[in-house]
Amino acid sequence: EALSGMVDSKPVATTRQASSHTQQRLKTEKAETEERLEKVKLKLAALQKANAFAEGEAVLVRAAGKAAHEAASITLSAISTRLKLKVQQKAPMLHELKAAEKERDLLSKKLDSKEKLVAAAKEEAAKLQTALEALDAQVAVLVEREAVLVRADKAAAEASDESAESFSKGAELVSKLATIHKSYLESGVEEGEAAAALRVEVDKATSVESAHKSQRESILAAEAQSKVGRGAELRQVR
């Protein structure tokens, strides 16, 4: 019985020891589990806090987004209204634009026509200028010719005056000689050498008078003819 009791006591002790070890291990594991659980709770609390902050931020973002959306909607509505107004205004503006383009084309055609007229006028003016210069040259020649004719007419008049003066002096001399000769004859003086010489002088004077008279008549005729010609030429020049 004593041996049997000893044998029976060993398994009990072993079992108790094993149970104690198990309990100790379980306590340790429980403590570790509780520690991990506490850490998890802390992490969860942190996550919840972060989530709450994120949700607050999200609320703010959603509110801002909503406000922005509403503002954008208002802006879009205003833009749409302005666009509709612009579209309504576009039709008359397009009509005015087409009218302006048409008027521009018409003015362009008129301008081209005027430029052609101006070019033609310039060409005609150049021709007239050339003709005017030619006429100026002709006028200069005619003016010079007129001056020459005037000088010639003046010279001829002076020559005629000189011829008339010479003829007058010759006639006066002949008249004086004739008077002297007549006085000699009336006084009864015999004709001598003086009388003969006087007669010779009288004859010479008479001949000179006749020549002067003939020459003067020729000069006057030529001068008259020349004067008629010069007068006609002067009238043509003027």
What's the one-letter identity of residue 138?
Q
Using DSSP, state whether 189 is helix, strand or coil. coil
Using CA atoms, how far apart are residues 108 and 114, in angstroms rounded to an integer?
Answer: 10
Share of the chain above pLDDT 70, in %: 60
Q: What is the pLDDT of residue 79?
A: 83
* Of 55-64, 116-125, 163-172, 220-229, the least confident: 163-172
CA atoms within 13 A on the CB side of 74: 5
Using CA atoms, how far apart are residues 226 and 229, in angstroms rounded to an integer?
Answer: 5
Q: What is the pLDDT of residue 7?
A: 47
Q: Is 161 exposed, middle or buried (0-12, 13-18, 19+ CB in 10 A)?
A: exposed
Using DSSP, state whether 188 is helix, strand or coil. coil
Q: What is the pLDDT of residue 119?
A: 85
Cα–Cα nearest to 227, from 165, 176, 154, 178: 154
DSSP tag of 33: H
CA atoms within 13 A on the CB side of 156: 18
- Select, from the ranges 64-73, 183-192, 219-228, the one with the highest average predicted confidence (pLDDT): 64-73
In the chain, which residue ranges form alpha helices assigned H by DSSP?
Answer: 2-187, 193-237
Q: What is the pLDDT of residue 1?
A: 45
- Select, from the ranges 50-59, 89-98, 193-202, the one with the highest average predicted confidence (pLDDT): 50-59
Query: Is-contact 223 154, C-beta < 8 A?
Result: no
- Using left for φ > 0, alpha for ψ between -120 and 50, and beta otherwise, residue 189 falls in beta
Using CA atoms, how far apart are residues 153 and 230, in angstroms rounded to an integer?
Answer: 8
Beta-carbon contacts of 237 under 8 Å, excluding residues fewer than 6 positions away, are: 142, 143, 145, 146, 149
What's the one-letter identity of residue 227?
K
Q: What is the tens place of the pLDDT at every residue in 135-180?
A: 778 777 777 776 776 676 676 666 656 655 665 666 666 666 666 6
Q: What is the tens place of the pLDDT at every residue in 193-233?
A: 555 655 666 666 667 667 766 766 776 676 667 666 656 65
